[in-house]
Amino acid sequence: MIHTYGDLKEDHLDILREIGNIGAGNAAASLSVLINEGVNIVVPQVQILDYDGVIRTVGDPEELGIAILINYVGDIRGVVLFLLSYEDANGIADILTCGFGEEDEKAGGMSEMKLSTIKEIGNILGSSYLGSISSLTGLGVNISVPYVAVDMVGAIMGAPMFEFSIDNSKIMLIEESFKTDTKSLKSHVILFADIPSLNKILDKLGLNE
Amino acid sequence: MSEKIAVGISDYKASSAPDTLVTYALGSCVGISLYDPISRIGGLSHIMLPTSMLGRSEGDDNRMKYADTAIDDMLSHMECLGAGRSRIKAKIVGGANMFGTTDGSFIGTIGDRNVDAVREELVRLGIPIVGEDVGANYGRTVHFDLEDGRVVIQSIGKDVKEL
């Protein structure tokens, strides 16, 4: 049993890294079908960080980014966050909308059409990620509707972190990024899970004494 | 020499003119600036959560994380530096709902709860709020100039605001 994120041992981290690998790998496969180009993930990392460290994971906190947030509930609870640079998100949305909705694009803004496309991408990627964890562990997972934010990445990252900061001075996150055959996307796929959920996952995979 | 002092998440810093205190990318967190215009001593706190009552375990003793403990501690710190309690006034910034969620979830309500808790604590301490930029759904960076107590707020795609 772990009581805080700091209790996670090396073999726990290995298994969580593998979860990230499988989850984000499935999400990458879904993204690949959507944009019709090969998508891979860059080696997953499991990190246990203090609050400022969590924010620093995504780089300059004041930089503009787009995030899709999905809450998951059921046997396990937490948040999946997909974070993309504005340019990359715009590029992916361009491929999928084929230029539709561009007329309502304000100066420097993103059209409603593109935003809802991005939301839907998040929905699909989130389902792939969490569906694979559910299959692997046999734990039931339901996902919320996706929420989108376009703003400073630091302010965005804080939102999911809060809930997990209660009783924890450090936060665990499983993090990967996507790259396509032609370029590396400025992206982060981040999974947060609460302590009881981590215990359940470790239990199911036979690693919890 | 004036210094720019960064305040992290669940952190506070107190100093005096000519320094500037800065905290970056406040989302649903709240930045609380306290300023005594006579001694020109000020403090900036960056809280994450409304009340230390949320914490259930003994292990979590970071008082700078919660509105109800951080402001109190920062005020004492400023008094130690020579600030006069009766002259101190507050400006508060942040407490956004970044994802605009309306489903009653923790993420959607925490900004408002943080702002409410900060107001309550400032009333309890008898410190008037003389400026605020709270709520809505965007991030804010705060520069708090201890020369004159000005609070400058930067957001993406918005005009710079001054309190």
What ipTM did this prediction achieve?
A: 0.87
DSSP B131-150: EEEE-TT--EEEEEETTTTE
pLDDT at residue B128 in the model: 97
Band of residue A155 on the pLDDT scale cut at 50, 70, 90: very high
pLDDT at residue A62 in the model: 92
Question: In the annotation, is B80 catalytic?
Answer: no
Mind listing the domains of chain A with CATH numbers?
5-204 (3.40.1550.10)
A49, A57 in Cβ contact below 8 A? yes
pLDDT at residue B11 in the model: 95
Radius of gyration of chain A (CA): 17
Distance CA(A199)–CA(A183), nearest Å, equals 37
B105 touches A: beta carbon within 8 Å: yes
Mind listing the domains of chain B with CATH numbers?
4-162 (3.30.1330.200)
Question: For the stretch A40-58, what's the b/e string if a residue is b when 16 or more beta carbons lie within 10 angstroms of its beta carbon?
Answer: bbbebebbbbbbbebbebb
Looking at residues B117-137, what average pLDDT do you find?
96
Distance CA(A36)–CA(A6), nearest Å, equals 41
Band of residue A100 on the pLDDT scale cut at 50, 70, 90: low
Which is catalytic among the residues B7, B22, B29, B71? B29
Choose among A55, A69, A166: nearest Cβ to B9.
A55
Structure confidence by residue, pLDDT tens digits, B6-36: 999 999 999 999 999 999 999 999 999 999 9
Looking at residues B117-146, what average pLDDT do you find?
96
pTM of this structure: 0.89
Choose among B11, B54, B107: nearest Cβ to A159.
B107
Higher pLDDT, B39 or A43: B39
Q: Among A43-57, A75-89, A104-118, B141-155, name the one with the lowest average pLDDT.
A: A104-118
Distance CA(A127)–CA(A129), nearest Å, equals 6
**Chain B: closest CA distance from residue A177 (Å):** 22
Contacts A158 to B, Cβ<8 Å: 9, 25-29, 48, 98
Band of residue B57 on the pLDDT scale cut at 50, 70, 90: low
Contacts A154 to B, Cβ<8 Å: 24-25, 27, 139
Task: Determine, for residues A162 and B156 on separate chains, whether the beta-carbon distance falls below 8 Å.
Answer: no
Which runs of consecutive H residues, i.e. helices, occur in B44-162?
67-81, 106-125
